[in-house]
Amino acid sequence: MSSTESISSVFAEAKLLVQPSTVEYIKEQSNNPILFSEEIVSSISNDVSTVTKENIENLDISVTTEDSEETTTEDSEETTTEDSEETTTEDSEETTSVNPNPTGEKGEQMVSSDTPEELYESTIDEDDKHLDDIGIFTPETECVPRSGDTNVEIKKDVTGQSTGTDEFEDFVKLFNDRFDKLKNILSQRVSSIPIEALSDSGGKQVTIIGRVLESRTTQSNNRLVVLEDRTGEFAAVFTDEKEQKITEELLEGEVIAIEGEVSGNGEIMFGNDIMLPEVPPRNKPTKADRPVKAAFISDIHIGADTFASECWNDFVEWIRQEGEIEYLFIAGDVIEGIGVYPGQEDILTVVDMYKQYDLCGEAFKQLPDNLEIIVCTGNHDMVRLAEPQPALPDKFTNNFPDNVTFTGNPATVEIENGITIEFYHGMSINGFTDTIPSADVMDPTTAMKHMVKKRHLAPLYGYNTRIAPEEKDYLVLEEIPDILHSGHVHTFGTDTYNGVSLLNTGAWQYQTDFQEKMNIVPTVANVSIIDLESFEISTKSFS
Ligand code: D5M
Ligand code: FE
Ligand code: ZN
């Protein structure tokens, strides 16, 4: 199936709630199965051994250097820098990609005509690299004893459960599952009627639940929101300022309820109220019944010359002596990876990804051996880029100590007596901060708050975040987490919203030239700590 018509007919048959631009996007994405299939990406990773400066430039066309060849992409504005060339993705059917640009816009993909085997011919032996070559030194302090009464359970994770292929039907299942789950949350609070019944409800006060297709200001300065459910679509107009403000923060793809009066002719609704599936204000976190703390960090980027090794060494000495911290959560990007963004080759101190993971494992052996370390994947890790990402395959984790648990991205992790952590690298955060006026990338919890309101980690389809067509939507916050932990944007912030602790834990990497061009000012070497008995959040800085 490759034409738009046939995709539309699949959706029509399945009564999928989807708009034409999404159909277009899905068409592009489904031509690139490698983004979605866990199996295919793993098999490529098997062939990835060592990359050299010479062959890394062939990795993809979005990796550009001064003397690299011209490349193009459909919406290049967001991702090309002054001195990089344009990039193209017309021909995605023939392409292979390993780790596509992490936060690129829709349609942008890493493309190469070479086979993965040719791209990753091993030419450098990095066996002799040790921790001190990347600035990590042997700790001087002893580890203080810890209780050892920890427990970690993974409650939701795609790892090993992936069902998605590149078939359009799988996208249908994904969208339907999202709609059903969010509608279910809303249905516990309001009773709604199907959209098809609106035409016979002229003059009546009703509630509908639907997926947001559009939210915009009309010529007469009112706000118009179009919702769709499985039976049709309908527009609601908002004239009241309070509701208008709410509509300004709606994203295409989220599921909401609107209450209002249907016009006499049954053609439009005058909206009175908007309800999001959000976590209720009375929500309270589950607390530990013993004195125990958890620490949270993200984005270590081992293998980059911008890795803040001296801060890391101080952190290691500190945590070895901090006996109350029994859990350490690391929200992705533990290594720098390869071929992730234009010019990355210039900042690599370790060019072999296996070696990057090896050194990372070695570094983790310096952390206390009865500290529970939980690590999710990120866009610099060697798994598929599309979310939900699976956990790191065993071939990359051989050198990590036994106290490390690897999860997919996102994952729901339960510790102690039922404290849940929604663990999400955070690739969607840029999408929130670029589109919601009140969300600011320098204050990342302003975006994470919307995840809790919308009960979805990445509602904006195709914007910054690639979503794999799994038969269920792992990005829905079906259960209310006690803690939502992310990274990715390299900026730091903590907050609490309706009883949910929101943490974005910055990075252990100084600003790269690429980030400077993108105007990203990272917060380096901060650790968030939650006292799990009181749920008090504190921050310790090592910068
Ligand atoms: O992300 C590090 C930071 O860089 C984070 O703020 C996102 C941002 N980033 C990464 N790639 C892009 C592109 N292509 N455009 C805009 N911003 C980007 P990391 O995942 O560590 O690379
Ligand atoms: Fe990162
Ligand atoms: Zn990242």
Write the pLDDT tens digit of every residue in 238-247.
999 999 999 9
Compute the distance between CA of residue 446 and CA of residue 441 in angstroms, rounded to an integer.
8
Q: Ligand 1 pocket, 520 CB below 6 A?
A: yes
- Ligand whose nearest atom lies closest to the CA of 378: 3
DSSP output for 473-535? -TTB--SPPSEEEE-SS--EEEEEETTEEEEEE-BSBPPPHHHHHTT--PPBSEEEEEETTTT
Which pLDDT value is given to residue 339? 82
Which pLDDT value is given to residue 126? 74
Confidence of residue 467 (pLDDT cuts 50, 70, 90): confident
Compute the distance between CA of residue 270 and CA of residue 218 in angstroms, rounded to an integer.
14
Which pLDDT value is given to residue 344? 86
Kindly tell me if the per-residue pLDDT of 220 is higher than 60. Answer: yes
Copy the structure tokens of residue 66: 């001064």
CA angle 11, 17, 20 (to 5 degrees): 70
Mean pLDDT of 297-304: 98
Going from the N-terminus, what domains does the chain have, and what CATH number goes with each? 3-105 (no CATH), 152-157+282-541 (3.60.21.50), 169-275 (2.40.50.140)
Q: Ligand 1 pocket, 463 CB below 6 A?
A: no
- The answer to whether residues 408 and 391 touch, using CB atoms and an 8 Å cutoff, is yes
Q: Ligand 1 pocket, 103 CB below 6 A?
A: yes
Q: Ligand 1 pocket, 511 CB below 6 A?
A: no
Share of the chain above pLDDT 70, in %: 77
Compute the distance between CA of residue 350 and CA of residue 301 in angstroms, rounded to an integer.
11
Nearest CA to ligand 1 atom 20: 488
Kindly tell me if the per-residue pLDDT of 100 is higher than 50. Answer: no
Mean pLDDT of 137-146: 96
Which pLDDT value is given to residue 512? 93
Residues with CB under 5 A from ligand 2 (ion): 299, 333
Compute the distance between CA of residue 84 and CA of residue 67 in angstroms, rounded to an integer.
10
Q: Report pLDDT digits (tens) over 105-125.
A: 322 333 333 333 333 334 456
Which pLDDT value is given to residue 11? 37
Which pLDDT value is given to residue 125? 60
Beta-carbon count within 10 A of 272 CB: 16
Share of the chain above pLDDT 90, in %: 66
Mean pLDDT of 335-349: 88
Residue 535 amino acid letter = F
Kindly tell me if the per-residue pLDDT of 61 is higher than 50. Answer: no
Q: Report pLDDT digits (tens) over 156-190.
A: 999 999 887 767 778 878 889 999 999 999 999 99
Q: Ligand 1 pocket, 333 CB below 6 A?
A: yes
Compute the distance between CA of residue 491 and CA of residue 497 in angstroms, rounded to an integer.
19
- The answer to whether residues 269 and 195 touch, using CB atoms and an 8 Å cutoff, is no
- The answer to whether residues 452 and 478 touch, using CB atoms and an 8 Å cutoff, is no
Report the separation in Å between the CA atom of 396 and the middle of ligand 3, taken as the mean of its atom positions. Answer: 18
Nearest CA to ligand 1 atom 13: 103
User: Comparing 286 with 341, which gets the higher pLDDT?
Assistant: 286
Q: How far is CA 109 from CA 80, 118, 323, 336, in A?
A: 13, 19, 45, 19
Q: Report pLDDT digits (tens) over 479-495.
A: 999 999 999 999 999 99
User: Comparing 487 with 26, which gets the higher pLDDT?
Assistant: 487
Which pLDDT value is given to residue 36? 53
Which pLDDT value is given to residue 20? 45
CA angle 537, 542, 543 (to 5 degrees): 120
Kindly tell me if the per-residue pLDDT of 363 is higher than 50. Answer: yes
Which pLDDT value is given to residue 97? 34
